[in-house]
Amino acid sequence: MEEPPPSDADLLARVGAGDEHALRELVGRHSAWLLLRLRRRTPDEELAASAVQDTFVAVWRNAGRYRGDGDVGAWLWGIAIRQLVSRLRQRQGATPVSQQVIAALSPSLRSAEDELLVAVEHGDLAAALLGLSPELRQALQVTVLDGLSTKEAALLLGVPQGTVKSRVRLAKARMRQLLMGGLA
């Protein structure tokens, strides 16, 4: 009788103990979907691939930080999106989603997250986001779109946590005004 494959949590524990084979198996299981999701957030395929690679470098170095109280895939996604956000933060200006990526997401295959991303990057929300200062837009993107806590966002953006909270509050108020047609 064949033994079932190890769970992601088991593999991660083995990675924490220095097992390179377990890391390779995690990469094999998760790199494709991580890359696909990151590519939906940037048209720069090299940037997305680099973020995935650095995600697994971070996993190798920090596997012991996984507390075991959630899905390994979700933990990996958190690392991956932070890697991408960190790289995007170093760039000047917004990076729009390519038309190729949008066309590839047929309406029947789009998740709620995909629909939101398309609306944010190409609809009225995009115009409203572009109406925000870069600091407000960045705070809103990392907390609302990427799901970082204000504490994580503060570390990522290099500002105090209170500044992140203020920027998010101001950004939401400004977005309401822009979307309601209150200010041009």
Mean pLDDT by 10 residues, the chain (184 residues): 86 91 94 88 86 94 78 86 80 49 47 56 69 86 77 78 94 87 55
pLDDT at site 102: 46
| Encoded tokens for 99 | 């038309």
Q: Are residues 113 and 184 in the same domain?
A: yes
Please identify, among 71, 91, 111, the residue that sits at the C-terminal boundary of a domain: 91
Residue 11 and residue 31: Cα distance in Å, rounded? 15
- Domain assignment of residue 140, yes or no: yes
Please identify, among 91, 117, 138, the residue that sits at the C-terminal boundary of a domain: 91
Q: Are residues 181 and 160 in the same domain?
A: yes
Q: Which of these, 85, 68, 95, lies nearest to 13 by C-alpha position?
A: 68
Q: Give me the DSSP letters along the chain.
A: -PPPPPPHHHHHHHHHTT-HHHHHHHHHHHHHHHHHHHHTT-S-HHHHHHHHHHHHHHHHHHGGG--SSS-HHHHHHHHHHHHHHHHHHTSSS--PPPHHHHHHS-TTT--HHHHHHHHHHHSHHHHHHHTS-HHHHHHHIIIIIS---HHHHHHHHTS-HHHHHHHHHHHHHHHHHHHTTS--
- If one counts the domains in the chain, the total is 2
Q: Are residues 118 and 160 in the same domain?
A: yes
| Domain harbouring 184, CATH code | 1.10.10.10
| Cβ–Cβ < 8 Å for 8, 26 | yes
- Using CA atoms of 48, 119, 165, 38 in order, give the dihedral in degrees to the nearest 10: -10
Q: Are residues 75 and 137 in the same domain?
A: no
pLDDT at site 168: 93
pLDDT at site 91: 64
Q: Are residues 147 and 172 in the same domain?
A: yes
Q: Are residues 155 and 87 in the same domain?
A: no
pLDDT at site 130: 78
Please identify, among 70, 91, 112, the residue that sits at the C-terminal boundary of a domain: 91
| Domain harbouring 32, CATH code | 1.10.1740.10
Q: Are residues 31 and 109 in the same domain?
A: no
- Other Cβ atoms within 10 Å of 30 Cβ, number: 21
Global pTM reads: 0.54
| Residue 168 belongs to domain spanning | 102-184
